Amino acid sequence: MPGKNEFVEHLLDLLSGFGPVEAKPMFGGYGVHKRNRMFAIVIADVLYFKADGKTKVDFEARGLKPFTYQRKNREVALSYYQAPDEALEDARAMEEWAEKAYAAALRAPAKKRKRGV
Protein backbone atom coordinates (compact mmCIF):
# COMPACT_ATOMS: atom_id res chain seq x y z
CA MET A 1 0.00 0.00 0.00
CA PRO A 2 1.24 3.46 -0.73
CA GLY A 3 2.35 5.82 2.01
CA LYS A 4 1.31 9.44 2.21
CA ASN A 5 2.54 11.51 -0.68
CA GLU A 6 2.92 15.23 -1.30
CA PHE A 7 -0.10 15.42 -3.63
CA VAL A 8 -2.41 13.80 -1.07
CA GLU A 9 -1.06 16.04 1.69
CA HIS A 10 -1.71 19.08 -0.54
CA LEU A 11 -5.30 17.93 -1.08
CA LEU A 12 -5.84 17.42 2.64
CA ASP A 13 -4.52 20.93 3.29
CA LEU A 14 -6.95 22.37 0.73
CA LEU A 15 -9.77 20.39 2.38
CA SER A 16 -8.93 21.48 5.94
CA GLY A 17 -11.83 23.98 5.99
CA PHE A 18 -14.26 21.33 4.77
CA GLY A 19 -14.13 19.44 8.04
CA PRO A 20 -12.34 16.37 9.31
CA VAL A 21 -11.20 14.55 6.18
CA GLU A 22 -8.81 11.64 5.86
CA ALA A 23 -7.15 9.76 3.02
CA LYS A 24 -6.98 5.98 3.36
CA PRO A 25 -4.79 3.78 1.15
CA MET A 26 -6.89 1.81 -1.34
CA PHE A 27 -6.02 -0.25 -4.44
CA GLY A 28 -2.75 1.54 -5.15
CA GLY A 29 -4.33 4.95 -4.53
CA TYR A 30 -6.41 6.59 -1.82
CA GLY A 31 -10.01 6.97 -0.81
CA VAL A 32 -10.84 10.39 0.64
CA HIS A 33 -13.40 10.18 3.44
CA LYS A 34 -15.49 12.48 5.60
CA ARG A 35 -17.47 10.89 8.42
CA ASN A 36 -16.80 7.43 7.00
CA ARG A 37 -18.23 8.32 3.58
CA MET A 38 -15.85 8.17 0.64
CA PHE A 39 -16.42 11.20 -1.56
CA ALA A 40 -13.24 11.22 -3.63
CA ILE A 41 -10.45 8.97 -4.85
CA VAL A 42 -6.85 9.68 -5.78
CA ILE A 43 -5.31 7.44 -8.42
CA ALA A 44 -1.85 8.15 -9.89
CA ASP A 45 -1.89 11.64 -8.33
CA VAL A 46 -5.19 12.56 -9.98
CA LEU A 47 -8.17 13.58 -7.85
CA TYR A 48 -11.63 12.30 -8.77
CA PHE A 49 -14.84 13.42 -7.02
CA LYS A 50 -17.95 11.28 -6.46
CA ALA A 51 -20.76 12.14 -8.85
CA ASP A 52 -24.36 11.03 -9.26
CA GLY A 53 -27.36 11.87 -11.42
CA LYS A 54 -27.60 15.34 -9.87
CA THR A 55 -23.95 16.35 -10.19
CA LYS A 56 -22.65 14.38 -13.17
CA VAL A 57 -23.78 17.16 -15.52
CA ASP A 58 -21.57 19.69 -13.69
CA PHE A 59 -18.50 17.59 -14.47
CA GLU A 60 -19.50 16.78 -18.04
CA ALA A 61 -20.31 20.43 -18.81
CA ARG A 62 -16.68 21.22 -17.98
CA GLY A 63 -15.33 18.36 -20.11
CA LEU A 64 -14.16 16.44 -17.05
CA LYS A 65 -13.86 12.69 -17.52
CA PRO A 66 -14.78 9.81 -15.20
CA PHE A 67 -12.20 7.47 -13.72
CA THR A 68 -11.99 4.36 -15.89
CA TYR A 69 -10.13 1.08 -15.76
CA GLN A 70 -9.86 -2.07 -17.86
CA ARG A 71 -11.68 -5.23 -16.78
CA LYS A 72 -11.93 -8.35 -18.92
CA ASN A 73 -10.96 -6.44 -22.07
CA ARG A 74 -13.53 -3.68 -21.61
CA GLU A 75 -13.42 -0.21 -20.12
CA VAL A 76 -15.34 0.33 -16.89
CA ALA A 77 -16.25 3.88 -15.75
CA LEU A 78 -16.82 4.64 -12.08
CA SER A 79 -19.03 7.42 -10.74
CA TYR A 80 -15.96 9.50 -9.88
CA TYR A 81 -15.02 12.41 -12.15
CA GLN A 82 -11.73 14.26 -12.45
CA ALA A 83 -11.54 17.41 -10.35
CA PRO A 84 -11.30 20.74 -12.16
CA ASP A 85 -7.89 22.43 -12.11
CA GLU A 86 -9.04 25.33 -9.93
CA ALA A 87 -9.99 22.92 -7.14
CA LEU A 88 -6.35 21.85 -6.94
CA GLU A 89 -5.17 25.43 -6.50
CA ASP A 90 -7.83 27.20 -4.46
CA ALA A 91 -9.29 26.03 -1.12
CA ARG A 92 -12.65 27.72 -1.76
CA ALA A 93 -13.06 25.96 -5.12
CA MET A 94 -11.89 22.68 -3.56
CA GLU A 95 -14.49 22.96 -0.81
CA GLU A 96 -17.25 23.78 -3.32
CA TRP A 97 -16.53 20.66 -5.40
CA ALA A 98 -15.95 18.53 -2.29
CA GLU A 99 -19.36 19.57 -0.96
CA LYS A 100 -21.03 18.41 -4.19
CA ALA A 101 -19.14 15.12 -4.04
CA TYR A 102 -19.92 14.56 -0.36
CA ALA A 103 -23.61 15.25 -1.01
CA ALA A 104 -23.53 12.65 -3.82
CA ALA A 105 -21.88 10.18 -1.43
CA LEU A 106 -24.60 10.80 1.15
CA ARG A 107 -27.32 10.22 -1.47
CA ALA A 108 -25.77 6.88 -2.47
CA PRO A 109 -27.03 3.86 -0.57
CA ALA A 110 -24.59 2.62 2.05
CA LYS A 111 -22.87 -0.59 1.01
CA LYS A 112 -23.50 -3.58 3.20
CA ARG A 113 -20.40 -5.31 4.45
CA LYS A 114 -20.14 -9.05 4.04
CA ARG A 115 -20.01 -10.98 7.25
CA GLY A 116 -17.04 -13.25 7.85
CA VAL A 117 -17.64 -16.98 7.90
77 DSSP β-pair partners: 68
The answer on pLDDT for 3 being more than 60 is no
Lowest mean pLDDT among 12-21, 48-57, 105-114: 105-114
pTM: 0.89
According to CATH, the topology of domain 6-107 is: Yope Regulator; Chain: A, (3.30.1460)
Domain ranges of the chain: 6-107
> pLDDT tens for residues 38-77?
999 999 999 999 999 999 999 999 999 999 988 999 999 9
User: Amino acid letter at 82?
Assistant: Q
pLDDT at 109: 82
Query: Residue 19: what pLDDT?
Result: 87
Q: Is 14:94 a contact under the CB 8 Å cutoff?
A: yes
